Amino acid sequence: MIVIMEAHASDEEVAGVLDRVESLGFRAHPSAGSERTVIGVIGDERPVESELFEALPGVERVVRVLHPFKLASRDFHPADRVITLPNGAQLGGPKVLVMAGPCAVESREQLKATAEAVAAVGVRVLRGGAFKPRTSPYSFQGLGEKGLLLLREVADDLDLAVVTEVVTPEDVPLVARHAEILQVGARNMANYSLLRAVGDAGRPVILKRGLGATVDELLQAAEYVLAQGNPSVAVCERGIRTFETSTRFTLDINAVPVLKHLTSLPVVVDPSHATGRADLVGPVACAGVAAGADGLLVEVHANPQEARSDAAQALHPDQFAALMIRLARVAVAVGRQSA
């Protein structure tokens, strides 16, 4: 349930509603918008009587949210949410934020060459996996903490923010010390203890859609992070599993406008994992931006043939530079700007 305060409700009136929520044993999630404060009331399955709040001073109206996700819904937070990073880059603002880098951090040389190339064409956020959730236990699993240190060192030299995946709740504090954005991978979308841990980490989170998860399940997973008090969550469409085998996964392009309708969280598209093929990354990235994505996650490798993971989908820096030019045109065509 959502309590919508009057436009000129006083701080005391807001506090009065918060007290009532707490005294009933529910949790209050206030959100102060530019015009009015909205208070999300989250509890157990008990029905909350709206009369308990309607009569309080300063309350305009009480709205029941029918979606299973509450804090993630546009009803609760109508305005687009914007995540601002320490280097000033924004996810969810007027610019489409392109996050790029290798699938995995392999070495200082590899990371530096790739990061310099993407930074030179306007990228502000470096991606790279230090902890890799691989389908096979025999595949390269990432450099772990050493990879995090390399990401930090290389990113700092270029004034880039870092987005990197965290795979276990125990690693969250370590990864949060080195990265501006914590990524929860598709294989962990429904790992609820990990979602709670990233919710407590005080860092923005990019939550990827599970290979077989519905949009509704993705938003309920985002709700876990939001319910911990972390409002900085973006959701990522990275392809789902279908009967189609010509690509690695199938990008559910519908999910982009569907998500934009249901939630005000920023929406990211990952054309690299969705297609698994470097030649398809560009067109699908453009489609994502045309459909309304706020950001892209793109795999780039200074030397794609030598990549230790996901080599077939890695763009060479020259291909990536050409893509950035096309993306800027698409972004402008749909009323956005590109990084």
Q: Which residues form the interface with Mn ion (CB under 5 A)? A: 103, 310
Q: Which is nearer to ligand PEP, 238 or 260 (CB)?
A: 238
Q: Which stretch binds ligand PEP (CB under 6 A): 43-51, 86-94, 138-146, 181-189?
A: 181-189
Binder to ligand PEP among 186, 205, 218, 234 (CB under 6 A)? 186
d(C-alpha 328, C-alpha 95), whole Å: 10
Q: Which is nearer to ligand PEP, 70 or 238 (CB)?
A: 238
CB of 164 to ligand PEP, least distance (A): 9
Write out the binding residues for ligand PEP, residues 94-153 only, by CB under 6 A.
103, 129, 133
Work out the angle at residue 9's Cα, subtended by the Cα atoms of residues 7 and 14, and round it to the nearest 5 degrees: 125
Q: Which is nearer to Mn ion, 252 or 299 (CB)?
A: 299
Q: Which is nearer to ligand PEP, 238 or 301 (CB)?
A: 238
* Site of tokens 């698994």: 276
Residues touching ligand PEP, count (CB under 6 A) = 11
Q: Which is nearer to Mn ion, 83 or 103 (CB)?
A: 103
> Are residues 102 and 303 in contact, defined by beta-carbon separation less than 8 angstroms?
no
Write out the binding residues for ligand PEP, residues 155-174 only, by CB under 6 A.
165
Question: In what helix (H) or strand (E) does residue 207 lie, and over which residues does it extend?
Answer: strand 205-208
> Are residues 5 and 39 in contact, defined by beta-carbon separation less than 8 angstroms?
yes
Select the binding partner of residue 238 from Mn ion, ligand PEP, none (C-beta < 5 to 8 A, by kind): ligand PEP
Residues with Cβ within 8 Å of 72's Cβ and at least 6 positions away in sequence, in order, are 219, 220, 222, 223, 226, 233, 262, 263, 265
Binder to ligand PEP among 101, 142, 147, 185 (CB under 6 A)? 185
In one letter, which amino acid is 41?
V
Q: Is 6 exposed, middle or buried (0-12, 13-18, 19+ CB in 10 A)?
A: middle
Q: Is 13 exposed, middle or buried (0-12, 13-18, 19+ CB in 10 A)?
A: middle
> Are residues 63 and 261 in contact, defined by beta-carbon separation less than 8 angstroms?
no
Select the binding partner of residue 208 from ligand PEP, Mn ion, none (C-beta < 5 to 8 A, by kind): ligand PEP
Select the binding partner of residue 180 from ligand PEP, Mn ion, none (C-beta < 5 to 8 A, by kind): none
Write out the binding residues for ligand PEP, residues 190-209 only, by CB under 6 A.
208
Q: Which is nearer to ligand PEP, 152 or 187 (CB)?
A: 187
Residue spans of beta strands (DSSP E) within 21-160:
27-32, 37-42, 59-63, 83-84, 90-91, 95-101, 125-127
Write out the binding residues for ligand PEP, residues 229-248 only, by CB under 6 A.
238
Q: Which is nearer to Mn ion, 196 or 277 (CB)?
A: 277
Q: Is 32 exposed, middle or buried (0-12, 13-18, 19+ CB in 10 A)?
A: exposed
What phi and psi, each to the nearest 5 degrees, are found at residue 301?
Answer: -135, 135
Q: Supply the Cα-derived Rg of the chain in whole angstroms.
A: 21
Write out the binding residues for ligand PEP, residues 258-287 only, by CB under 6 A.
270, 273
Select the binding partner of residue 165 from ligand PEP, Mn ion, none (C-beta < 5 to 8 A, by kind): ligand PEP
CB of 46 to ligand PEP, least distance (A): 36
Select the binding partner of residue 271 from Mn ion, ligand PEP, none (C-beta < 5 to 8 A, by kind): none
The residue at minimum Cβ distance from ligand PEP is 185
Q: Which stretch binds ligand PEP (CB under 6 A): 78-86, 89-97, 184-192, 331-339?
A: 184-192
Each residue of 160-186: b (16+ CB within 10 Å) or e? bbbbbbbbebebbebbbebbbbbbbbb
The footprint of ligand PEP (CB under 6 A) covers: 103, 129, 133, 165, 185-187, 208, 238, 270, 273
